[in-house]
Every structure is written in structure tokens, then in C-alpha cells.
Amino acid sequence: MGRFSHPAPSWAIHPRTLIGVPPRAGGSGPGKHGALHTKQVRPGRRPGLPGTATLYEMAMLTFAWATVVGYLHSAALLRTADIPAMTTAPLLTHWMSTTIAPVITDYAQQIDSRRYPGNEEWLELDAPLMEHLIQTAAQRGVDTRLPQLIDSLTRAGITAGFGLDSFASLIEIVLTSRDEH
């Protein structure tokens, strides 16, 4: 039971499900996004130590929520100009698959090699864009906490000597943050 006064539902703790999805109200099985949320892991095939599947789940949730919050911030900015979210949904989903997905693969290679070449973009190049995003959001009455968080991580990276390195270098800042807690 842990911190909660009720046991976790079975779909949340199934040992073979990487990310569980509750059954739909009035039905059974995964909800609308079930294909994205139920990745089966075969016993004996889990990489790493015990608890790795749970860590994968937390990593996937972090990625999902950060991505969705970024989208919500984008939609909020556009709403201030009366641009419907559905107008940009096709553009953003195409951009995710053609631009962001390859960047993630490139960053994964950089992270694993611990080399962050700033050939195409670097933190000192990104920082002024973040300042502009913060100013634009503030001027339009949109919450600035998300771009401020990204800006603060970027500035910490520059301070730590990663100014000419790629955005992937911020993993070193995210990892060092754990030592401060």
C-alpha cells in the first residue's frame, strides 16, 4: 500500500507491462493511446538490474510529460493569437517525426559517448533564443516557468563550461543536480 490508503490497481503493477494503462471506463483493455503505453517486456529480457523496468517507466513518463507540457506551452502561445491547436497539430506531429526523432537519436549517441560536438548548435547559440521565448511568453500573458527552467539549465551548462557544446551536454547538468539534493 505504501504512501496511499488503497492498493494500486492491477494494471498499474502488472509485472510484464512496462507502462500500464488503465482499462477504459465501460470497457476493458488499454485506452485510446494503449499502443504507445503498453510495451510488453519478456521475462528474462529486462536489461540491467532489478527495478530497471520501473526506471524505464519513470523515464518514459518524464519524456511524455515534458513533451506534452512543451506542446501545451506552444498551444498557449498560439492561442494568444487566436490560432486553434488543431491548425498546428499536423505540423507539430510531422516535425516530431522528421526533426525531433533524429535529434533524439543523435543526442543518445552523444550522451553515450560523453562527447557533445557543437557543430550545428551550441548552448551559447541557444541561450538568446530562450530569452526571446521568455519575453514573448510574458508579453502574451503565458506562464514563463517552462522556458525559464530550460533557460536556467542552459545557463548552468554555459557556466559549467559547455557553452560551445550541443544541447545534449545538459545531461551533465541534470546529473550534477542530483548531488545538490
Give me the pLDDT at residue 13, please.
Answer: 42
pLDDT band at residue 48 under the 50/70/90 scheme: low
- Name the H helices within 24-51: 34-37
Q: Percentage of residues in the chain with pLDDT exceeding 90? A: 66
- Please report which confidence band the pLDDT of residue 42 belongs to, taking 50, 70 and 90 as the band edges: very low
User: What residue type is assigned to position 28 of the chain?
Assistant: S
Q: Residue 68 above 80 pLDDT?
A: yes
Phi, psi of 9 (to 5 degrees): -65, 155
Q: Burial level of 39, CB count in 10 A (0-12/13-18/19+)?
A: middle
Query: Tell me, what DSSP letter sits at residue 144?
Result: -
Q: Report pLDDT for 28.
A: 42
Return the amino acid letter for 174: V
Using one digit for the tens of pLDDT, what is the confidence trace for 117-169? Answer: 999 899 999 999 999 999 999 999 999 999 999 999 999 999 999 999 999 99
Burial class (CB within 10 angstroms; exposed 0-12, middle 13-18, buried 19+) of 57: middle
pLDDT value of position 53: 87
Task: Give the model confidence (pLDDT) of 75-128 as tens digits.
Answer: 999 999 999 999 999 999 999 999 999 999 999 999 999 999 999 899 999 999
